[in-house]
A and B are shown apart, each in its own frame.
Chain A
Amino acid sequence: MALINVKTKEVQIKIVYYGPGRGGKTTNLEYINEKYRDQIKTEMVSLKTQDDRTLFFDFLPFDVGQIKGFDITIQLYTVPGQVKYNATRRLVLRGVDGIVFVADVQREQRKKNIESLNQLYENLETYNLDLFKMPVVMQYNKIDLKQSDIPILSSKTMQKDLNGILRAPAFEASALKGGNVIPTLKKTISMTLASIQDQLF
């Protein structure tokens, strides 16, 4: 739910990185936070377990500047990927404006990707939101693992598994190295802002 203050000309957008556990959601945010430290200015909030799993969520707010006189604030969130934290995932999704679905290309994660996307649909339904009508971008992360001879799924399979029905823009990515992290984010922000531009700008 985008917050728009027409008086002060401020717009606040909430983007949630969703996906199976250990897929690279937090790494996406860490890369953005690290790479654009000077522009972002605010601090990233993160709460992890001892072995680096997201316990509740990560939070990274930043202002991208003005578009047609409106100050645009982006709030990036991640959800905890572990299966047992679905209640927390649902809470983080409240008021979401745009979604980045971070899938793991490792072959052994194939089923978990599908389950996670199905669960995302159900979780959004609890807020009367339709995944098919939301700005969504798919990210197939860890594509660099093929260089380490770790079995990974082809992008064609990823597309069929996850995007055959949703048909959202999709990016291969290597969040650890920063590959396609920013294009994914830019695409998500663009789609999200484009969906309100007629009412706003």
Chain B
Amino acid sequence: MNSLTELKKIVESLNENITNEDILAFQKQISQLGQRYEGNPNVTTFLKMMRSLSKYLAFRKNNAHADSIPALNSIVEQLEKITNDSDLKEDDANQILADEIEKYKILKNKIASKPSITDSDINDLKAVILAIDWEISDTTLQNFETVTTNLLQQLKNYKIHYTFLKIIHSIGRYIGRKKANAPTDSISILRSVFENFEQIATAPDMTFKEKKQILGTDINRFYEFKQKIPRQKKVAHVTSDTSEDESFSPALSHIKKTSAAATGDVVPLTTLSEPEDFPSGGKTDSDTMAPALADKKSSSTGPRDIMDDLFSVKESPADELLDAIHLQDVPGQSQGQALNMLNQTRGIPSDGVKNLTLQRQDNEPIPEIGNRLDEFFNLEAPEESPVNVNARDAQSTEIDSAEDDSQANGIVPFQPEDESFEESPGKDDSDPLPQVSDVDIDILNRLKTFFETSESLQDRSSLLSINQDISLLEKSWENDPEKICLLQIISSLTNLLKNRPETALQENKSTTNEADKDSPDAPQEKTVGVLGKIKGIFTS
């Protein structure tokens, strides 16, 4: 029995069952034929195809593609024809070879792209990935796990598909573990890998090389993604274990640096005191109030779910914004177009209408604003007297220093219900104010006493003390030109008084006495005016 006959017999047995023994016997016969037809290029090509197929069958055995044994049969038959038919012309032999090569290539492509993946499988996978993109919940993650595991099992013999699925599975699982802490680009990578998988799974004409190329790109992206993870893991670990004292780069520190930030100086903060600390008296509405969301579900006045209104006539700014958000997700539309849409709806020119881009002015709101808002929110109107404000500031400074750490930063105490708050009016400023130290307050009070007592103004030692106090304040406020200017005015006035001759002082005294008789308040008004300006600095 020659090798070809033997080959045919082995192929017949392979039809029933593919065993290692058959494959080995098949490969042995191919080797023998190779030696016999060493100089025949046509036969060598046939044998090459058979050797390749035998390797494939040895690897896949009974899981091999259904067309592989018929293809092998055909190759063996045609090989027999060109070796046994001595009348066969060379052109005919070449044609037979070309036909077999074509069949072999078709089989190869089928093997590479054959996976029995249906549209339904693709849609299921798409659905679970989109569900994760929409919301990372236990349900969506469980569905994702089920679908991907099934597909992995189903496509385990198709290397390219299987690799795609492994990447999808790994990223999805990682997102499931990390949830909101997953890197921002995790879901976009997942979606991108799925889109490529869908492309190769639904394009039968795509060559193996093209598929491999697409897969290669995704593998590289996946490795890049994986490389980022350990770093983030390390950072997250450090974060969770850090104490509060650990230094973090403050927000916006990459934009601006301030000396205040460096020295730890902080701005005023309105605090919320412990519930047991609530002052119960003097509040307008201190009755126990149900938590904000206690009866949210049963309330008919709760938020509207606009999903039901998606197709209604658009009339509110929210509807316009929602349309713009949807538009940015439409393929081919850019966010710029979404913005243009907003511009068109919002920027319709109308008689008398102007758009104003607001800039923080750091100015005091006019009283009408505060009054209107207090009325609207049923809040008690705070007293606006600048003298009272100063007094409150001084008081709160003392209280703060006795309280805890956070309150030392000018924090207004916590109260559980906002109507039981009373914002400290001194803190109701649009910009944080420089802190006034206790020492400064003492000096100011001393100066106030000096200027309010007419005797002090006639006493040279008192005038000297005034000048010393002014110098101290000048040092303390050296960075505030307005205050310095006012202090210089006071200093000049004081020097004027100090340098006046005694007689003039006496004249002044008698004049003052005269004036006191006619208008007792007149001299006091003058000094209050200067102090008023100083107070104004703290209250503006």
Instruction: Name A's B-contacting residues (CB within 8 A).
Output: 1-8, 21, 27, 30-31, 33-37, 39, 43-51, 53, 56-59, 61, 64-68, 72, 75, 82-84, 86-88, 90-92, 94-95, 97-98, 107-108, 110-111, 113-114, 117-118, 121, 129, 131-136, 140, 143-144, 147, 153-157, 159-183, 185-187, 189-199, 201
Contacts and interface: CB of A to CB of B under 8 A. Distances in A.
Contact of B303 (A45, A61, A97, A177): A45
28 contacts: A1-B355, A2-B358, A3-B356, A4-B355, A30-B303, A45-B316, A46-B305, A66-B372, A86-B184, A114-B249, A117-B251, A117-B252, A118-B252, A121-B255, A131-B252, A147-B274, A156-B406, A161-B250, A165-B252, A165-B256, A169-B429, A175-B292, A177-B292, A178-B416, A185-B377, A191-B365, A193-B365, A194-B365
B135 A50 contact: yes
A56 B303 contact: no
Q: Assign chain B's interface to a size class.
A: 35 or more
A91 B317 contact: no
Contacts of A196: 356, 358
A171 B303 contact: no
A34 B406 contact: no
The prevalent SS among residues of A at the interface is mixed
Interface string B313-355: 0001110011011001000000100110010001000111111
Contact of B423 (A114, A156, A183, A201): A183
A191 B292 contact: no
Given A113-B251, A156-B266, A162-B250, A98 B358 contact: yes
3 A-B pairs with least C-beta separation? A7-B352, A46-B303, A31-B292
Nearest to A194: B365
Contacts of B369: 67, 189-190, 193-194, 197
A30 B293 contact: yes
Contacts of B251: 113-114, 117-118, 161-162, 165-166
B366 A30 contact: no
Interface in B440-477: none
B215 to A, nearest CB: 26
A180 B289 contact: no
A133 B359 contact: yes
Contacts of A5: 350, 352-354
B138 to A, nearest CB: 9
Nearest to B343: A94
A194 B363 contact: yes
Which of B250, B258, B368, B423 has the most chain A CB atoms inside 10 A of its CB? B250
Interface stretch (B52-60, B294-302, B392-400): B294-302
A91 B376 contact: no
A80 B408 CA distance: 34
A163 B409 CA distance: 12
Contacts of B292: 27, 30-31, 34-35, 175-178, 181
Which of B354, B379, B430 has the most chain A CB atoms inside 10 A of its CB? B430
A155 B271 contact: yes
A46 B270 contact: no
